[in-house]
Amino acid sequence: MSTAPTTVTLTIDGQTVTVPKGMTILEAAKTIGTKVPHYCYHPGLTSPAMCRLCLVEVEGAPKPQPSCVTTVADGQVVKTESDKALGNRRGVLEFYLVNHPLDCPICDMSGECDLQNYVHEEGREHGRGAEPKRVFGRDDFGGDVLFYGDRCVMCTRCVRFMSEVEKDERLTVVERGNRSVIDTFFEEGLEGTHWHGNIVDICPVGALVSKDFLHKARAWDLAHTPSVCASCSQGCNVDLHTRDNGVQRVKPRENLDVNGWWMCDHGRHDYEWMNRGDRIEAPLVRQADGSARAVAWKDALGALLARSRELEGRGVKAVVSPRASNEDLGALAELVGALGGGEIVYRSERAAEEIVLEGFPTLARRKDLAPNVKGAQLLGIHRVGSDDATGGLDAVRAHDGIVVVLGDALEDADERFGSSAALYVYIGTHAAEGAKSAHFVLPVTTHAEQEGTFTNHEGRVQRFWPALTPPGMARPAWLVLGALVAELSGEPVPRTAAEAFAALAEAVPAFGGLDYGTLGARGAVAQLPAAATRG
């Protein structure tokens, strides 16, 4: 029994291409590095074929074909750079510029604007418009979005995102012809929606801009670093856009296995904590008179090791934040084991409900508002909190042996926390009330300042990279903890995040089949147990 072919072979600009059946010409051209200019098309939305910029010449067709909706066929011959195709694009671009204002010097999209790029590459050298341009002015759409109607090219990506993906039809096209403009319904703007920041991302020009980013930086001044959103356990792939050692904005990074092309508004704007200036910049050691003195790392770790050896057998109680990386948590687990064993718990804020993106239902703002809850669970760390039957941190607070806190797990603890402990070690990024009784305060980096991995809610292990320079003497927690473990156990100190991950993979079966170097920018799923631990 014969089966229908699943691939199609065609010719694009003289190159033979074999692609899956049903693919559009536009996407097929991408496989050989040819980008057909387009506006209305977006891979996550329907294709109305209304911008007419992606027309290409197809041999045998009576007229140019829109490549965003025309599917490939066997033996098809496509020309994206023929005189006819180039002439069509030049004409369409000229029509766009009839009313588009030439305000690139003050437009937030300047430097990453498709219209700017297309006109520079293929447009006319001189405009021919003699009539005054239309003026719509600026409109506040609510939420984080401003609309500059003069710049709009009516691609309708924003309208289609709200209706097809967010499933909340608050945007529409009003009027007809050259009077057409995007608008909200009556007085109902974008306030109260949870995903509307994505319409700024997909706007190909500067018609939709973010209030948060308005006139903050130029696109060419920003460095882009791949990372993972730390605002919930979804683990959205993002890029951190930085300048002057500060995060200026966060943008979603495409990963169809996790978040597609989108991210929620909460995660998009939850970045200022990475820029906070009240950081712990040097190791602090509590003196006999109660004061804390800044010392070198060697002195701090030497004194800590000496004190911990005196307390061998007293037991360890550790509290971690699931904002810590897999490598950090693995190193802490090794340290607790080297100190004689004990209990490790995590604390994490939880939302009342998940907020699902209706048109992309595998994406949601998850209940667990931290990126590495699943990573903590895979290491056997269980959750405590005010709503937990264990009574939160009461057992840790009353412990008279060794208490270790890793990360921002003490935001609501008072200055008496840890006062009963014979040895209290606080390993964190920012000063906290609950750290005032600590005998040792060790400064570590945030995920934006180090390399490592998080494990999202479905068990996907994903890498992030350093975007910022850490302050003062702050170091990755896995390096600090690894140095302590090495002194106690005689094992070598991990020198890189890859070595720290390898040690984790050797110790924890769930991570055993993963290789740090091959995780790449997409991640890989850990070997989850049949009945995964629930938080």
Last residue of one domain, picked from the residues 220, 244, 275: 275
The single-letter code of the amino acid at 465 is W
The angle formed by the CA atoms of residues 63, 66 and 68, to the nearest 5 degrees, is: 160
Give the mean model confidence (pLDDT) for residues 199-216. 96
For residues 425 and 438, the answer to whether their CB atoms sit within 8 Å is: yes
In a domain, 531, yes or no: no
pLDDT 10s digits, 225-279 = 999 999 999 999 999 999 999 999 999 999 999 999 999 999 999 999 999 999 9
Query: Do 304 and 448 fall within a single domain?
Result: yes
* Per-residue burial over 505-521, b = 16 or more CB atoms within 10 Å of its CB, e = otherwise: beebebbeebebeebee
Q: How high is the pLDDT of residue 46?
A: 95
Residue 46 in tokens: 């329907």
Query: Do 265 and 292 fall within a single domain?
Result: no
CATH of the domain at 312: 3.40.50.740
In a domain, 263, yes or no: yes
Q: How high is the pLDDT of residue 535?
A: 44
Neighbours of 380 (CB within 10 A): 11
Query: Do 252 and 312 fall within a single domain?
Result: no
Q: How high is the pLDDT of residue 531?
A: 52
Task: Please say if the pLDDT value at position 390 is more than 70.
Answer: no
Query: Do 256 and 293 fall within a single domain?
Result: no
pLDDT 10s digits, 310-319 = 998 889 999 9
Q: How high is the pLDDT of residue 393?
A: 85
In a domain, 365, yes or no: no
Residue 403 in tokens: 């208490």
Q: How high is the pLDDT of residue 179?
A: 85
pLDDT 10s digits, 57-86 = 999 999 999 999 999 999 999 999 999 999
Distances (CA, A) of 4 to 7, 8, 17, 20, 28: 9, 11, 19, 12, 20
CATH of the domain at 185: 3.30.70.20
Q: How high is the pLDDT of residue 409?
A: 77
In a domain, 318, yes or no: yes
Q: How high is the pLDDT of residue 82?
A: 94
In a domain, 11, yes or no: yes
Task: Please say if the pLDDT value at position 214 is more than 80.
Answer: yes
| Percent residues over pLDDT 90 in the chain | 81
Task: Please say if the pLDDT value at position 176 is more than 90.
Answer: no
In a domain, 89, yes or no: no
Give the mean model confidence (pLDDT) for residues 434-452. 96
- What size, in residues, is the chain? 535
d(CA 208, CA 475): 40
Give the mean model confidence (pLDDT) for residues 334-355. 93
| Percent residues over pLDDT 70 in the chain | 97
Question: How many domains, in total, are found in the chain?
Answer: 3
In a domain, 443, yes or no: yes
pLDDT 10s digits, 351-367 = 999 999 999 999 999 99
Query: Do 61 and 144 fall within a single domain?
Result: no
* CA 123 to mean position of chain CA atoms: 35
Q: Is 130 exposed, middle or buried (0-12, 13-18, 19+ CB in 10 A)?
A: exposed
Task: Please say if the pLDDT value at position 389 is more than 60.
Answer: no
Task: Please say if the pLDDT value at position 391 is more than 50.
Answer: no
> Three-state SS for 108?
coil
Lowest mean pLDDT among 13-17, 42-46, 182-186: 182-186
Query: Do 187 and 50 fall within a single domain?
Result: no
| Three-class HEC string of 270-296 | CCHHHHCCCECCCCEEECCCCCEEECC
Query: Do 45 and 166 fall within a single domain?
Result: no
For residues 407 and 386, the answer to whether their CB atoms sit within 8 Å is: no
Q: How high is the pLDDT of residue 3?
A: 66
Residue 507 in tokens: 């110790």
Query: Do 339 and 480 fall within a single domain?
Result: yes
CATH of the domain at 32: 3.10.20.740
Q: How high is the pLDDT of residue 530?
A: 63
Task: Please say if the pLDDT value at position 534 is more than 70.
Answer: no
DSSP string, 398-431: T--SEEEEESS--TT--TTTTTT-SEEEEEESB-
Per-residue pLDDT band for 208 (boundaries 50, 70, 90) equals very high
Note down the domain range covering 395: 284-344+371-525
Query: Do 222 and 303 fall within a single domain?
Result: no
Q: How high is the pLDDT of residue 28?
A: 96
pTM given for the model: 0.92
Give the mean model confidence (pLDDT) for residues 82-111. 92
Query: Do 139 and 47 fall within a single domain?
Result: no
Q: How high is the pLDDT of residue 98?
A: 87
Give the mean model confidence (pLDDT) for residues 389-405. 81
d(CA 332, CA 317): 11
Last residue of one domain, picked from the residues 275, 305, 330: 275
Query: Do 231 and 321 fall within a single domain?
Result: no
Per-residue pLDDT band for 326 (boundaries 50, 70, 90) equals very high
In a domain, 332, yes or no: yes
Query: Do 267 and 289 fall within a single domain?
Result: no
pLDDT 10s digits, 136-175 = 889 999 999 999 999 999 999 999 999 999 999 999 999 8
Strand runs (DSSP E) across 206-262, as ranges? 208-210, 223-228, 237-243, 246-252
DSSP string, 363-409: -EE-SB-STTHHHHHHTT-EE--TTSTT-TTHHHHT--SEEEEESS-
